[in-house]
Amino acid sequence: MRFMMIVKATTDSEAGVLPSQELIDAMQKYNEELVKAGVMLAADGLHSSANAVRISYPEPGGKPKLVDGPFTEAKEMIAGYTLIEVKSREEALEWALRMPDPHGFGQGEIELRQVFEFEELLGDPESRAKEEELRRQAQESKKA
């Protein structure tokens, strides 16, 4: 099963302040540990929200509303993620606990979220068959 460890943005990450060398080293060591344990799938860091765009749909069925960054409320944003493949939720939590404090000055926050599995989305075989058919149709209409 796959889990995403989401590192929340901080006032520093939003201000474009780079983490200390110490934290960078610790993170690198941690990532290597994930790789050597065979659980790391992907990891990326994100730019601050300064050049971000928010697309929202305030009216049901209406046109999207665009708002340019930067945004306030750092805690509602993410600064990066690490995707891991593990055997259990407990293992994912154990790995998340081993990640260094991503901020170090009180704002560090990691959110652990499970990624949907194909089978989970499509419970019983019947609805799964329907889902597959829908996807196939969607694929064909895209091609056409």
Partner 1 sequence: MSVSQTHRTIDTIWRMESPKLIAGLTRMVRDVGLAEDLAQDALVIALDRWPSSGIPDKPGAWLMTTAKRRALDLLRRNKLRDQKYVEIAREIDLYTEDDIDRALDGEIEDDLLRLIFMTCHPVLSQDARVALTLRLLCGLTTDEIARSFLIAESTVAQRIVRAKRTLNMEKVPFEVPAGKELGERLSTVLEVIYLMFNEGYSATSGQSWTRPLLCQEALRLGRVLAAIAPGEPEAHGLVALMEIQSSRLKTRINAQGEPILLMDQNRALWDQLLIRRGLAALERAQRLGRTLGPYALQASITACHAVARTPSDTDWIRIAALYEALLRQTPSPIVELNRAVAIGMAFGPAYGLQLVEELNKEPSLQGYHLLPSVRGDLLEKLGRLEEASAEFERAAAMTRNVQEQALLFRRAAECKQEGERT
Binding-site ranges for partner 1 (CB under 8 A):
35-39, 41-42, 83, 85, 87-88, 90-91, 93-94, 118-119, 125-126, 128-129, 132, 135-136, 139
Contact 74, 11 (CB under 8 A): yes
Pick between residue 57 and residue 116 the one whose CB is nearest to partner 1. 116
Q: Which is nearer to partner 1, 76 or 117 (CB)?
A: 117
- Residue 64: CB minimum distance to partner 1, A: 25
How many Cα atoms within 13 Å fall on the side-chain side of residue 96? Answer: 23
Shortest distance (Å) from residue 72 CB to partner 1: 32
74-99 core/surface letters (b: 16 or more CB in 10 A; e: else): beebbbbbbbbebeeeebbeebbeeb
- Least spacing, CB of residue 16 vs partner 1, in Å: 28
